Structure 1
Amino acid sequence: MDSKCMELLPLVCAVLADPKQALSDDTCLEKFLDWFGALTAPGSPLLEIHPCLITFISSVCQSKTADPTILSFALNMVQHRETMSFLFKKGLIKVVLHLQTDKSLFVASAANQLLAHILNFSERTTTCISLENGSKSDPSEMQKDQGTTECPEWTDGIMEIMKHVEESLSSSVSFRACQSLKLVAWSLAHCQPHVREMLWQRTEGAVEMLLGNEQSSLTQLFMEVLQAAARTPLFSQTNSSIVTLMETMLCTLKPTQAIPFASGIIHLENCPQSLKKKATGVILRPLELVTAPADLQQLHSDLVQEGGCQHTSLEEHLSQKSSCISLLCLSLSSISELAGMGSLNLEMPVQSVILSVISVLKVCVGMPISSSPVISTFRNLIGCSKVQKCALDSLASLCQSPENIVRSEVFSVLLQYLDSPDTNSTVLQKAYQVTLTWLCICSEPPPQALFSVLMKRLCDMRWEVRDSSLEFLAQLSSHFHENLSYCEDLLSSGVPGLSFTLLTDPESYVRASAIFALGRTVRTTNKAGVPVSGHVLLGELARRFVDILAQDTEVFARRAVIKVFTLWLSSPCPTEDLEEPVRSVLTLGSEDLDWEVKVHTLELAQILISQTLAQSGHSTSPYAVSCATRPSGDHLTESLHRLQHLKIFSVLFRGLFDCDRPVAQSACSILLSLKLVINENTPLMDRKAVCDLQGQSWVEDSLKKHLEKLHVGAESQKSMGVVEVLLVLDLEDMQQTLGQSSDHLENSPCSLMEDILAATRMSEDNAVDCY
């Protein structure tokens, strides 16, 4: 603790201990505690050095008028090893157990958390008691470790809690049972092995009894207790009762509860295969009942009833619209998880699951299906976007299926969704993504019908549809840019020309997506072997993008332009028509009002720097292109002249002194990498032959002032080139300064204590609402 803090600490303690003083905001106390936590270590002499802390704690704890916030603060400060013994010896466990069922839910919850903390307390477990493996949890059978001292209060206190849990779970008062189930769920995962054994022995019988009584109000807590127990070594024991209880719950829970519970079982480690299979069946059952033919459904129903599960309840839920939708969404969402875990084949083949999901999608969009379901659910599902989105997510997760036989079915239903005028815009967007996912695993290009759908959707009245269609086109072109057949189909479709007209769309999101789509498309179609007719030329498009960067009032389109130029320059795309547009983009981008545009412009500059320096045998980033290495000062000088011609140094120095820190950080990092290259080759090159900095606006203000601070006079500045400026600037120090958080000066213990003193000294007359 520095001297300033040592001086302020007694004053702060005195103010906080004064009940007449009040803090309007207690967040400063939380930061205060964090600071003390960082200062305190085992054996720390903090209290001896600062007796004002002991005085403060004693004063607050003895005061009858202390503010509850300050009292709470003083008690978090105190963490004493003998606290647990104090609770046991003074008989306070009875008080806490009584408060566990207090009328105030806040008090009851706090008491329950304290009891869980006591059960999870490990301080005495290694020095006091251990339970023999397999023995009943009786106090007389607790044995002391050799060489340790007795702690009967701890033993008695734990047994008192155990007895209370057992009695509460057998109680007819629902709230008592509820609180104890919560306590068991919180404690099982963290308490010591022998305590866990005792706790579970007193819980499992009560849970079995409560399940038999169909205590529906406690169902959720039953599931939490079983899931907590299943994450402990109790689950792996031979003939574990947890497995039996879970199987019982799978058959007795309501379908809307059973599916999430089954999904949780699937994720358990060391889960028996038989239990996992039953859980998978519970998840798939609603989907199967809706889509399977009647004979298969009857067979499955017989198997379910043989297993002791109720089938009628599921049919009733599926016959009602709201519960049918909820059940199908739960089933489909869980299938997405199962697909990623390789657990589907436990119950039915993946191909059958895919066909069932396709059937649901057909039903929702009004297409006929071949099966004849027992339950008439069609009218509940037609046009239901919630089920459609869940089914599409499931279909995407099932795309790794090796069976080619289902792919035609998949694309058939997806094209129906993409073409249907009734498809919701969010569903359409998801259908695009699923289509792309399935196309990416196929070796053949997209069907021609897809381009007809795109032409239709690019003219849609809804801007969201136009936007998602352009995004899909960009992703499609990115994936198939090497496929000649795709390029030919794309050009003959008329999609690129229609996309070009959307550069003037009234919605800025659509304009930005059109820029991305055309940027990807022109990269795809400007290749050897692709017909010239039908596509937009790179040079023409680049000039159009420059106009957008200069004129568009919305940032989304301007950001898109910079990103597309970055894409073009970082890929093996013809760039002979891009030099002049790139110069304009760098200038316009560095002068933009949006900080993201400026950062992306600097990323573009980094690519150009790396590619240019690579020609002289140097590199500053992974973007560098491979070429013959020519490490000489003359070639480096030529490269720097080239960068100056592109106006890159203007971009970098303007960014270095930008008011937005991310921009300045990026510029500083790039300049540092340049400085490193120059330092390594200073003896080989002409330090002043690169360029003249005079007459440029950024020299006249920020850079000029900075050089003056470094004692570089006006006359010297006139003759300085870029190389000399780079060598003079202390870029390392600037980078360190820029890397500091904005609150590095204010967010300190000293400032914190000053804030507390200032807040408590402020009278009500001086308090002003800042709003």
Structure 2
Amino acid sequence: MDRRCAELLPLVCSVLADPKQAPSDDTCLEKLLDWFTDLTAPDSSLLEKNPCLITLITSVCTSKTAEPSIISFALKLAGLLASTEEGFYVLKQQNVLESTFDQEGWSKSSLWEDATVRSGWVQGLRSMVQHQEAMLFLFKKGLIKVVLRLQTDKSLFVASTANQLLAHILNFGELTARCTSPENGGKTEPSVLHKDSRGRPECPEWDDGIVEVIKHVEESLVSGIPLHTCQSLKLVALSLTHCQPHVREMLWQSTVVATEVLLGNGLSSLTQQFMEVLQAAARTPLCNNSESGILTLMETMLCTLKPTQAIPFATGIVQLENCPQSLKKKALGVILLPLELVTVSTDLQELRSDPVEELGFLRSAVEEQLSQRTSCVSVLCLSLSSTAELSSLHLEIPAQSVIPSVTTVLKVCLGMSFSSSPSTSVLRNLIGCSKVQKCALDALANLSQYSESAVYKREVFSILLHYLNSPDIDSTVLQKAFQVILKWLCTCSELPPQDLFPVLKKRLCDIRWEIRDSSLEFLTQLTSDFQENRSYCETFSSSGVPDLLLTLLTDPESYVRASAILALGRTVGIIGKEGVPKSGPVLQEDLARQFVDILAQDTEVFARRAVMRVFTLWLTTSHPASEELLSSVLALGSEDLDWEVKVHTLELAEILINQTLARTGHSTCPYAVIPATHSSGANLTESLHRLQHLKIFAVLLKGLFDCDRPVAQRACSLLLSLKEVITESEVCDLHGQSWVEGVLKEHLEKLDVGADSRKSVGLAGVLSVLDLENMQKNLGQRSDHLENSPHSLMEDILAATCISPEDNVVDCY
């Protein structure tokens, strides 16, 4: 804690302790707690140096008129300060902890009725119980009984916090027997340990406390009160994977019998909690113990859950590492069953005997849900989403049957005809359903990674082209279809289908701008992936698409114009390739001039940003533009009103700087490859003059003083890099350039040079005057770093006491 804060802290504590002055806004209190959390550390001596904190806690917690928010703050602060053993001993010696967390005192106070106070009490204990002495204090003082009551508090927030505290207690590391040593100021030291029959150190308070918690769990599970049962199931799920082995065994033994009874009673409202408990148990060594009954319970759940509950549960089972293959196989069958039944409905495939026929207990329930439109969509989306999730994790699934099933679902949704009339309600429910289409496309994209996928590529591309050609396709579905095509082309190492470009031309003229935009994005990515393939280049050049791209530069929608710019920027290299037939006057020089006009005239920022990105792309892919055009682009970009355009301008400037200096054996980029033929410093002055001719220095200095911080940060970083390269001997006369006059006036008077010398000042001179290192440091700070400091926070709290509550509009942030 710095000196200024230490001086204000006693005043702030006295204000908080005074009910007439305490702030009504508790956001400042939470901010103070965050600050104290940063200050709390072993050997921090925070309490010794700031006794006002103890006075504050004692005063507030014994007050009968304090605001609930202030009491909650004091309780949390007490727990936070006691979270270290040093702080715990200080508070314990002064009897602060006993009075602060005294259960009898709070139970008699009307303030306890306020949920804010109860929440602060629990959170204070949760913060404190980080070491053994705090845990023993909790058990010895009987506070565990209060926590167990609060687990079912009427306030859900208090109940949840109490549950987290109980889970922390159960998950706490092994305690050892301790005894008090008066010679050590009342601190406790390890004693001669007594061992139980298992060789563990005995600690009666710890053992009794754990037994009390587990007994409470067991009673709650059979209480018949849904809230109590639900909370205890949540506690078991939170605790099983992290608690000590002997605690885990005790907790599971008290849970398993009650769980079997509850499952038999068909309490569907607690299904989610049952699933979480079983999945947590399956991730522990209990799963390897056949006597634990976990696997039997999981199989029972699969057999009794509704399909919409069984599928997510089955997905969790398949992802378990130590689960038997037989159970995983059955869980996978549950996930795929809706897909199988849709496929059977088309008469294109018979029901597989393995593992679906083993799921007769679930088949009738799934068929019933598929027969109704709402539930049909819900259960099928779950099946497809789970398939996508499992395949994204590279888990083993029967891709040779799943891929045809997914493509069949896509055909059904599109209303394609089958060998027999699609008269079943299942098929009617799916026609035109975009939600199912999107889930199926997600699954199909992930299924492309399986080795079996190559066999189905022709069928997959066929159905995807049907989607691209469908006149009433949803725009988001079409976008996903484009993504799936790219994924399958990449994994199957295939060229785009011959029928793709005619369909793409149609989509580029679609009345919906979203589809035009998605088509352009797809084309840009497609060209990026296949621009080195001669066959693709020839097909693209003769397809008529380049002419369409030019017309889209004047599209009424700015997103489309931006995407057209990016597409043309990517595809222009194909048109000029040797041996590739040209289609119209599409040359880079013509495009570059059009792009400069767009940068100067387009009123929407998206197109202007796209222009800057294209010029950056060209410079990094051996498609340089003329210096005249680059100079215009840099000048226009640096004057733009949009900060992203200005940042892109600086990115372009950085590439030009690196490319120019690299020719002389210099670079501002630490990873640049410098040709060995150039000597260090050779032709540096000439390179600097080229950069000056491009007006790059004007762009950098203008950016340095820009009002948008990202722009100034980027410019400052580039100037710092240049400063390391340029020496005083490399003079670049900047006198007379408009952008430097302000810099000369504002900064160069700091130089001890005469007016005549300033007239011929060089770039190195300007950079040496500017305190770039300090500017970079300041630019790296948050804009509210002063107002958001602990000192400012305490000043705000003190200032708030000087004005009336209705005028108190202090922003503690």
Structure 2 length-normalised TM: 0.86
Aligned match of 1:479 in 512, 516, 529? Answer: 529
User: Does the 8 A contact of 1:181 with 1:221 survive in 2?
Assistant: yes
Deviation digits for residues 606-629 of structure 1, max 9, x if unmatched? 111111111112222278576463
Change (3 A) 1:270 1:578: farther
The aligned counterpart of 2:563 is 513
Change (3 A) 1:43 1:687: closer
More moved, 166-175 vs 291-300: 291-300
Distance 1:765 1:209 in 2: 58
Distance 2:165 2:492 in 1: 57
Q: How far off its partner does 1:109 sit?
A: 3.5
The aligned counterpart of 1:100 is 151
Distance 1:625 1:184 in 2: 58
Change (3 A) 1:301 1:66: farther
Distance 1:288 1:622 in 2: 57
Q: How far off its partner does 1:538 sit?
A: 0.4
SS of the residue corresponding to residue 542 of structure 2 reads helix
The reply to whether residue 257 of structure 1 matches residue 309 of structure 2 is yes
User: Does the 8 A contact of 2:329 with 2:355 survive in 1?
Assistant: no
Change (3 A) 1:622 1:437: farther
The reply to whether residue 310 of structure 1 matches residue 362 of structure 2 is yes
The aligned counterpart of 1:213 is 265
The aligned counterpart of 1:362 is 411
Change (3 A) 1:146 1:50: farther
Deviation digits for residues 346-405 of structure 1, max 9, x if unmatched? xx3x12211111111011011124589996411100100000011111111111244433
Q: Tell me which amino acid in the other structure corresponds to 1:359.
A: T
Q: How far off its partner does 1:750 sit?
A: 1.6
User: Does the 8 A contact of 2:441 with 2:481 survive in 1?
Assistant: yes
The aligned counterpart of 2:110 is none
Deviation digits for residues 72-93 of structure 1, max 9, x if unmatched? 1111112345544344334343
Q: Tell me which amino acid in the other structure corresponds to 1:545.
A: F
The aligned counterpart of 2:469 is 419
The reply to whether residue 191 of structure 1 matches residue 270 of structure 2 is no
Distance 2:488 2:279 in 1: 36
User: Does the 8 A contact of 2:345 with 2:427 survive in 1?
Assistant: no
Unaligned runs of 5+ in 2: 83-87, 89-132, 180-193
User: Does the 8 A contact of 1:262 with 1:283 survive in 2?
Assistant: yes
Q: How far off its partner does 1:554 sit?
A: 0.8
The aligned counterpart of 2:759 is 718
The reply to whether residue 752 of structure 1 matches residue 802 of structure 2 is no
Deviation digits for residues 744-768 of structure 1, max 9, x if unmatched? 3333222221111112332136446
Change (3 A) 1:712 1:602: farther
SS of the residue corresponding to residue 726 of structure 2 reads helix
Aligned match of 1:429 in 466, 476, 479? Answer: 479
The reply to whether residue 39 of structure 1 matches residue 91 of structure 2 is no
Matches within 5 A, 1:159-178: 159-178=211-230
The aligned counterpart of 2:703 is 655
Q: How far off its partner does 1:301 sit?
A: 7.0
SS of the residue corresponding to residue 44 of structure 1 reads coil
Deviation digits for residues 389-427 of structure 1, max 9, x if unmatched? 111111111112444331111111111100110101111
The reply to whether residue 687 of structure 1 matches residue 730 of structure 2 is yes
The aligned counterpart of 1:630 is 678
User: Does the 8 A contact of 1:598 with 1:663 survive in 2?
Assistant: yes
SS of the residue corresponding to residue 493 of structure 1 reads coil
Change (3 A) 1:536 1:68: same
Change (3 A) 1:397 1:678: same
Change (3 A) 1:126 1:274: farther
More moved, 193-202 vs 512-521: 193-202
The reply to whether residue 552 of structure 1 matches residue 593 of structure 2 is no
Change (3 A) 1:398 1:300: closer
User: Does the 8 A contact of 2:174 with 2:244 survive in 1?
Assistant: no
User: Does the 8 A contact of 1:289 with 1:375 survive in 2?
Assistant: no
User: Does the 8 A contact of 2:10 with 2:52 survive in 1?
Assistant: yes
Change (3 A) 1:34 1:109: closer
The reply to whether residue 381 of structure 1 matches residue 411 of structure 2 is no
Q: How far off its partner does 1:710 sit?
A: 4.6
The reply to whether residue 121 of structure 1 matches residue 169 of structure 2 is no
Q: Tell me which amino acid in the other structure corresponds to 1:215.
A: L
Change (3 A) 1:550 1:674: same
User: Does the 8 A contact of 1:351 with 1:401 survive in 2?
Assistant: no
The aligned counterpart of 1:563 is 613
The aligned counterpart of 1:285 is 337
Aligned match of 2:668 in 597, 601, 620? Answer: 620
Unaligned runs of 5+ in 1: 129-140
Q: Tell me which amino acid in the other structure corresponds to 1:236.
A: N
Q: How many residues align?
A: 745
User: Does the 8 A contact of 1:607 with 1:624 survive in 2?
Assistant: no
Deviation digits for residues 296-337 of structure 1, max 9, x if unmatched? 987657965656733211111111111111111111111112
The aligned counterpart of 1:132 is none
Q: How far off its partner does 1:541 sit?
A: 0.2
SS of the residue corresponding to residue 88 of structure 1 reads helix
SS of the residue corresponding to residue 35 of structure 1 reads helix
Q: How far off its partner does 1:526 sit?
A: 2.0
Distance 1:332 1:736 in 2: 50
SS of the residue corresponding to residue 22 of structure 1 reads coil
Q: Tell me which amino acid in the other structure corresponds to 2:582.
A: V
Distance 1:211 1:142 in 2: 39
Q: Tell me which amino acid in the other structure corresponds to 1:579.
A: E
The reply to whether residue 85 of structure 1 matches residue 136 of structure 2 is yes
Change (3 A) 1:765 1:102: closer
Q: How far off its partner does 1:68 sit?
A: 1.2
Aligned match of 2:196 in 143, 157, 161? Answer: 143
Q: Tell me which amino acid in the other structure corresponds to 2:204.
A: P
User: Does the 8 A contact of 2:750 with 2:769 survive in 1?
Assistant: no
Aligned match of 1:743 in 769, 775, 784? Answer: 784
User: Does the 8 A contact of 2:278 with 2:294 survive in 1?
Assistant: yes
User: Does the 8 A contact of 1:542 with 1:578 survive in 2?
Assistant: no
User: Does the 8 A contact of 1:478 with 1:524 survive in 2?
Assistant: no
Change (3 A) 1:198 1:126: farther
Distance 2:152 2:473 in 1: 53
Distance 2:712 2:431 in 1: 55
More moved, 462-471 vs 633-642: 633-642
User: Does the 8 A contact of 1:491 with 1:535 survive in 2?
Assistant: no
Structure 1 length-normalised TM: 0.91
More moved, 115-124 vs 252-261: 115-124
Q: Tell me which amino acid in the other structure corresponds to 2:537.
A: C
More moved, 611-620 vs 623-632: 623-632
Distance 1:738 1:199 in 2: 54
User: Does the 8 A contact of 1:229 with 1:242 survive in 2?
Assistant: yes
Aligned match of 2:772 in 731, 738, 751? Answer: 731
The reply to whether residue 55 of structure 1 matches residue 55 of structure 2 is yes
The aligned counterpart of 2:547 is 497
Change (3 A) 1:54 1:639: same
User: Does the 8 A contact of 1:364 with 1:388 survive in 2?
Assistant: yes
Change (3 A) 1:625 1:498: farther
The aligned counterpart of 1:27 is 27
SS of the residue corresponding to residue 746 of structure 1 reads coil
Deviation digits for residues 439-491 of structure 1, max 9, x if unmatched? 22344432232111111111111111111111111111111111121112112
More moved, 363-372 vs 431-440: 363-372
User: Does the 8 A contact of 1:607 with 1:623 survive in 2?
Assistant: no
RMSD of Structure 2 on Structure 1 (CA): 2.7
Aligned match of 1:667 in 706, 715, 719? Answer: 715
Q: Tell me which amino acid in the other structure corresponds to 2:611.
A: V
Change (3 A) 1:173 1:583: same
User: Does the 8 A contact of 2:148 with 2:213 survive in 1?
Assistant: yes
Aligned match of 2:693 in 645, 652, 662? Answer: 645
Distance 2:521 2:645 in 1: 20
